[in-house]
Amino acid sequence: MLNRETPVLIPGPAGQLEALLLEVPEARGVALVCHPNPVQGGTMLNKVVSTLQRTARDRGYHTLRFNYRGVGASAGSHDMGSGEVDDAEAVATWLRERYPDLPITLLGFSFGGFVAAALGARLERQGVALDKLFMVAPAVHRLTADNPPAATCPLVLIQPEADEVIEAQAVYDWSANLGRAHELLKVAECGHFFHGKLTDLKDLLLPRL
């Protein structure tokens, strides 16, 4: 199996988007990974994002991670909301055109959890049946009537119990009020960036991908 990601440039609504693509033989699906808050230094090279990408690769998915507008070599400037979801939608469109017969799984960390969930809702409205959605330490407070979460695809929430960035109780409350079937996994003695817990994160993801 080839483990080297290939740099690609994808047309986006604010200009080209920098991305890393990895293809595997006989892929079971495509995994699109969304990174954390760019204003706080989040990029597609974040270590949690890298763990999500590698775990999906190890489960037999083509993977793609990308930088939002204004991050790295991606054109444009931060929008911190719908703009980043627009970017993710452009990437998803590119993936669907490249792999029309493969289902898409969305994974997002922190702000990327919001982006992945909001993208999932857009794709569902377009009639795209998503395979799965994983939200890791997600910024659920950003999900609003304007950017609602995906409503029908299988959903897994993974939340560190000692999260110092996203209030864990806010995620638990959001989960309790979601009104749809999903799985909530709590990671004990774990902070937002999964320091010393990346193996635990991979172990939670592997059987669910």
Q: What's the pLDDT score for residue 1?
A: 47
* Nearest-angstrom CA–CA distance, 23 and 164: 35
Residues 55-80: pLDDT tens digits? 999 999 999 999 999 999 999 999 98
Q: Are strands 15-22 and 6-12 parallel, antiparallel or unpaired?
A: antiparallel
Instruction: Please report the pLDDT score of residue 80 as a whole number.
Output: 86
Helix (H, G, I), strand (E, B) or coil at 38: helix
Bigger pLDDT: 137 vs 145:
137
Q: How confident is the model over 6-27, as a mean pLDDT?
A: 97
Compute the average pLDDT of residues 159-184: 97
Of 133, 119, 1, 20, the closest CA to residue 59 belongs to 1
Q: What are phi and psi of 6, to 5 degrees?
A: -110, 125
pLDDT in tens, 22-65: 999 999 999 999 999 999 999 999 999 999 999 999 999 999 99
User: Residue 101 in contact with residue 131, Cβ under 8 Å?
Assistant: no
pLDDT value of residue 63 = 98
* Nearest by Cα to 202 from 187, 180, 191, 182: 187
Question: Could you read off the pLDDT of 78-97 as tens digits, one per residue?
Answer: 998 899 999 999 999 999 99
Model confidence pLDDT, tens digit, residues 180-199: 999 999 999 999 999 999 99
The pLDDT value given to residue 146: 86
The pLDDT of residue 118 is 97
- Least confident residue range of 2-11, 99-108, 123-132, 150-159: 2-11
List domains and CATH numbers for the chain.
Answer: 6-208 (3.40.50.1820)
* Per-residue pLDDT at 85: 97
Average pLDDT, the chain: 96
Instruction: Report yes or no: 162 and 140 within 8 Å, Cβ to Cβ.
Output: no
What the block records as the tokens of 118 is 């909001």
Amino acid 2: pLDDT: 55
Q: CB of 88 within 8 A of CB of 17?
A: no
